[in-house]
């Protein structure tokens, strides 16, 4: 059952009880942090208790699952769900952040990269793989996010993670761009996959675009509501 959502011009504070224990599916725009989205929904709907079930980088767009009230008890469960992403890998250069946050460097000629090369590299990412979390991440070292240390040029030892990639489709969009769709277990850094993909091709690469399209059974779609230009849908009861 879907709740009736007030018009954004109405007094939202009067509908606080409607959104006390529910789930929002939001389509995060580029440039917002996941915490920004939480703050916007908290203030706009006068919600006391709200959290999200999986961070998206500011440069990424797509699905965020927001839980309010008693539904926040399920956040850990939703974090454990597998996730699906679509995006673009730029090859022929690298960046320190593995995405577009930092400048391109280490330029390489990509004229020798073939479709066969791309498909062979793709196969190496299927199944169980190990991944080293990037320095440009929200992981913390002694209470400080790694990305803040990375911006100061510091490198901290990190532990390898094991994850499972169930699907990985790739296609050549242009000589320097590879489109992809990937489904993986929790904890995957798609920026790392983009960086490693370019490295295995021998020309370097980084994540140019990323959009999360699914978290478990929650899917990104044309959401009918909008608050501060953020499309969303409200779920009152769910069956998973």
Q: The domain containing residue 110 runs over which residues?
A: 83-214
- How far is it, in rounded angstroms, from Cα 3 to Cα 6? 9
Mark out the alpha helices in 26-114 (DSSP H runs): 34-44, 75-79
Query: Quick check: 113 pLDDT over 80?
Result: yes
Query: Quick check: 5 pLDDT over 70?
Result: no
Query: Strand (E) positions, the chain?
Result: 23-28, 50-52, 61-68, 83-91, 127-131, 140-141, 144-145, 161-174, 177-184, 205-215, 218-219, 225-227, 230-235
Residues 6+ apart with CB under 8 A from 77: none
pTM of the model: 0.87
Mean per-residue pLDDT over the chain, rounded: 89
- Provide the percentage of residues in the chain whose pLDDT is more than 70: 91
If asked whether residues 53 and 72 sit together in one domain, one would say yes
If asked whether residues 70 and 114 sit together in one domain, one would say no
If asked whether residues 157 and 200 sit together in one domain, one would say yes
What's 96's domain CATH number?
3.30.2350.10
Query: Quick check: 6 pLDDT over 50?
Result: no
| Residue 130 main-chain phi, psi, to 5 deg | -105, 145
> How many distinct structural domains can be found in the chain?
2
Catalytic residue of the set 9, 36, 57, 117: 57
Active-site residue, 57 included: yes
Query: Quick check: 235 pLDDT over 70?
Result: yes
CA–centroid distance for 222 within its chain: 18
pLDDT band at 14 (very low <50, low <70, confident <90, very high): very low
Query: Quick check: 4 pLDDT over 60?
Result: no
pLDDT band at 111 (very low <50, low <70, confident <90, very high): very high
If asked whether residues 167 and 76 sit together in one domain, one would say no
If asked whether residues 221 and 206 sit together in one domain, one would say no
């Amino acid at each position: 059952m879907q709740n009736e959502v007030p018009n954004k011009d109405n007094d939202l504070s009067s509908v606080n009880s409607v959104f006390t224990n529910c789930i929002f599916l939001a389509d995060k725009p580029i440039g917002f942090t996941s915490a920004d989205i939480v703050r916007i929904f908290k203030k706009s709907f006068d919600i006391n208790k709200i959290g999200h079930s999986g961070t998206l980088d500011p440069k990424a767009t797509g699905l965020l699952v927001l839980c309010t009230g008693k539904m926040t008890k399920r956040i850990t469960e939703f974090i454990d769900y597998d996730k699906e992403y679509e995006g673009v890998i730029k090859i022929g250069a690298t960046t320190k952040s593995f995405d577009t946050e930092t400048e391109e460097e280490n330029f390489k000629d990509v004229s020798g990269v073939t479709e066969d090369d791309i498909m062979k590299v793709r196969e190496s990412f299927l199944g169980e793989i190990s991944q080293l979390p990037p320095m440009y991440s929200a992981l913390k070292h002694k209470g400080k996010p790694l990305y803040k240390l990375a911006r100061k040029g510091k490198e901290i030892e990190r532990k390898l993670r094991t994850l499972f990639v169930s699907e990985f489709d790739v296609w050549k969009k242009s000589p320097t761009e590879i489109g992809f769709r990937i489904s993986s277990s929790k904890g995957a850094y798609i920026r790392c996959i983009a960086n490693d993909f370019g490295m295995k091709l021998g020309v370097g690469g980084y994540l140019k675009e990323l959009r999360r399209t699914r978290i478990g059974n929650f899917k990104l779609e044309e959401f009918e509501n909008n608050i501060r230009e953020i499309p969303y849908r409200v779920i009152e009861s769910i069956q998973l």
